[in-house]
């Protein structure tokens, strides 16, 4: 469970002050940046496992798959080298690519080669999910619906905007402790969003 209160305030502020040509920021660019930060500490999550050869192929660049529902079923368009984009560019790349994928206009290259994937069931309203790894990757991170929660904050009852993250890992490559620590790093950056955009 992640306290998204500060991130939602920052996202609203940035959207209210964006330039006309800048895309609207959703949660996905922030999550992407948090994942990129976590991958600096846990690069083994950004890999593909070749079962036939018994080899783990780790990548320096991050090729982010974005699971998207299309008229032809589930598709995973890929933002290649996503680490090169700033927050706004990341938002634009994700929006453009997923839109073209939904229309069946993404290229074959844009539909392949992912090294880690994000999936989002938030729009459907799920609070928990069990993401299925996009083989041959070894990790997938899923975001769920935002919800308000009453919490005690220094003895006072207040409302926080929360969201659960769901993730799955291939334990042939990723140990359980590493997986849990990876998610905790993502949580830290989402709960402190200024660190994401610095």
Strands 116-120 and 64-66 come out as parallel
User: Among this protein's residues, is 63 annotated catalytic?
Assistant: no
Between CA 191 and CA 165 the distance in angstroms is 12
| Cα dist from 88 to 1, 22, 32, 63, whole Å | 26, 7, 12, 17
41 contacts 180 by C-beta, under 8 angstroms: no
User: Among this protein's residues, is 50 annotated catalytic?
Assistant: no
Q: Tell me whether the omega of the peptide bond preceding residue 136 falls within 30 degrees of 0, making it cis.
A: yes
- Give strand ranges (E) for the chain: 2-3, 47-50, 55-58, 64-66, 68-70, 73-75, 78-79, 116-120, 139-153, 156-169
In sequence order, what are the beta bridge partners of 32? none
CA 109 to chain centre: 20
In sequence order, what are the beta bridge partners of 57? 48
- Cα torsion 97, 99, 104, 105: sign: negative
Among all residues, which ones are annotated catalytic? 171, 175
């Amino acid at each position: 469970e992640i306290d998204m209160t500060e991130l939602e305030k920052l996202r609203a502020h940035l959207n209210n002050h964006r330039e006309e040509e800048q895309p609207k920021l959703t949660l996905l660019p922030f999550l992407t940046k948090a994942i990129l930060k976590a991958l600096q500490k846990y690069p083994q999550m950004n890999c593909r496992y070749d079962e036939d050869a018994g080899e783990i192929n780790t990548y320096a660049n991050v090729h982010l798959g974005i699971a998207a529902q299309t008229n032809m079923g589930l598709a995973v368009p890929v933002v290649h080298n996503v680490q090169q984009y700033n927050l706004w560019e990341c938002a634009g790349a994700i929006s453009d690519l997923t839109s073209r994928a939904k229309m069946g206009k993404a290229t074959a290259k844009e539909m392949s080669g992912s090294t880690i994937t994000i999936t989002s069931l938030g729009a459907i309203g799920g609070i928990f999910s069990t993401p299925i790894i996009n083989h041959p990757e070894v990790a997938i991170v899923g975001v769920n619906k935002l919800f308000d929660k009453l919490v005690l904050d220094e003895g006072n009852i207040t409302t926080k905007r929360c969201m659960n993250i769901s993730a799955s890992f291939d334990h042939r490559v990723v140990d359980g402790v590493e997986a849990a620590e990876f998610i905790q790093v993502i949580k830290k950056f989402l709960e402190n969003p200024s660190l994401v955009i610095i």
